[in-house]
A and B are shown apart, each in its own frame.
Chain A
Amino acid sequence: MNKAEILIIDDEAQIRKLLQITLQSNDYIVKEAATAKEGSIMAANHPPDLIILDLGLPDENGHEVLKKLREWYTGPIMILSVQRTEEDIIKALDNGANDYLVKPFRTGELLARIRSSLRSTNAEESIPIITCKNLMIDLTARTVKKDDETVKLTSTEYNLLSLLVKNEGKVLTHHYLLREIWGPGYINQSQYLRVFTAQLRKKIEDDPNRPAFILTEAGVGYRFVGE
């Protein structure tokens, strides 16, 4: 497989430098842009495999840049920002960002998120059986096995799990999950999500109080991690 190409749009030279070193040493091809304008042109001329976008750009609001990119760019866009309020994160995810990482970030975390973003676009259509550590999910047979033993899930629990698994690595917002699983009338009923994720964790996690698969993104949503 060819090396994946990543475009960084960030006005901070230090961050760009750091990302460049980190990504190049992990076998990615890196392109850099310091402004929204420059970044958009570079992305249009030669669409990268993934875009890392800062929200605080000098020439245009990052949310606007994101919206414009999403009008035509279908690859993963990852937001890397110092803004850490739930509103900003939810807004970015709603505007089509695949992931949101807050500065300061850990390099390991960044690389893991990049890998999973690239993987989910590569994988696209159905891999019928997904195996993560000691967990196996068969999307055709709608069965879940943990340590080779079948886990009994209610249909809602299964729907929640499969939706999270199909979007592995990606943060799914509360509203999105509620709408997809319970329906549009339930988008404010976050108590359902709390109860069902707690239930699900009890069934699939080794230690439900230290979840390794279903992670909470405080105030934003949930993310399934398979690595």
Chain B
Amino acid sequence: MELFINRISKANQFIISILLVSFIAAVCYILSGFIGYKVVAFILLFTVSLLAITLDILPVLAAAVLSALIWDFFFIPPHFTLWVSSTEDLILLLMYFIIALVNAVLTYKIRQIEKIARQKEEKANTVKLYNTLLNSLSHELRTPISTIIAATDNLQAGNSKLNEVHKNELIAEIAKASFRLDQQVDNLLNMSRIDAGFIQPKKDWCDITEIIYDAAHRVEENDILQQIHISIHPGIPLFKLDKGMLEQILYNLLNNAVIYTKPTCSIKVSATFYADILEIVVEDDGPGFPKAEINQVFEKFYRLKNTVTSGTGLGLSIVKGFVDAQKGSISLENIDTGGAKFTIAIKGETSYLKI
């Protein structure tokens, strides 16, 4: 409602209130043989009240004054004059005038209060989102940093109880933590690029097969237990798209599937094409997404309510950002037999060059 009103200009609001009051008055005038002028007063008051709910204060006040004058001029005997003959009618007119004004002002005040409450709520939500972001970010960055500091402390302290196995374990932890830190920084940089709005896809001919295998290998390098199955339409042409973005999209989707499914699950990537549209599907046989949250997962910093793994909630929003940047579409659905299925469709120039 608020949005609707905001879109009507001030001038139009005056026109609407004058037209509506005049129209209602005209109808009443036609029906004046059947209804008394006192009933007309109620109908006009009702009209002003309706306007007060939707329009700004000034157009409503205008409607209040106009309707009072119309009522006086056309309906209170003697007709066609502002003169009021009986004391009773004079009191009625005054009362009408006051009620119409009070009505307009009160409704306006209530709406102002509502607006302030809404703004407060919005601000509270922003603060909440900001805090969630800070919490998850500081957690995501501090965990690996703490690991590195603690592990190096241990190694530096000349702790004689540390045997070779322990030392190697600590070194492996440092390596893992640094890798995680590097990935998070990448995520943040990607997200800020998307937010800043200056990501222009750098289009070049892409060998889709190569890109999918490369992304899968990058994920497999993290010592994953799930199997990644790849199936690509053998006749797939070269597509002119942004290779870096495409690979990051696939990496994030695959990485997500790995993180959120059991080691026994399997992940499938398939690619096909319909004329100049490339379609890539990434699906798994894991738990799928909770129905209530499925529409929110692409939002920035959104994390599933019952999630136990750590993360910043950036992965899928980066995917969405990179798909959007290439004017493509992405959808997510749960598979009937269990699991999540992401479908990406991107239009691009194709080349069927063969040797």
Contacts and interface: CB of A to CB of B under 8 A. Distances in A.
A88 to B, nearest CB: 13
A198 B207 contact: yes
A218 B243 contact: yes
Given A104-B178, A210-B213, A86 B202 contact: yes
Interface stretch (A7-15, A30-38, A134-142, A186-194): A186-194
Contacts of B202: 86, 219
17 contacts: A104-B178, A154-B355, A156-B355, A174-B204, A192-B353, A193-B205, A194-B206, A194-B238, A199-B355, A209-B213, A210-B217, A216-B214, A218-B243, A218-B247, A219-B202, A219-B204, A219-B243
B343 to A, nearest CB: 23
Interface string B211-248: 00110010000000000001000000010000110010
Contacts of B213: 209-210
Contact of B210 (A154, A198, A219): A198
Nearest to A188: B204
Interface in B262-312: none
Given A174-B204, A191-B238, A193-B205, 4 more contacts: A104-B182, A190-B205, A196-B355, A199-B355
Interface in A72-102: 86
Interface of A: 86, 104, 154, 156, 174, 190-199, 209-210, 216, 218-219
B161 interface: no
Contacts of B182: 104
A216 B207 CA distance: 11
A62 to B, nearest CB: 20
B209 A198 contact: yes
B205 A191 contact: yes
Interface in B316-355: 351, 353-355
A196 B178 CA distance: 37
B171 to A, nearest CB: 13
Contact of B244 (A191, A193, A219): A219
A194 B355 contact: no
Contact of B353 (A154, A156, A195, A219): A195
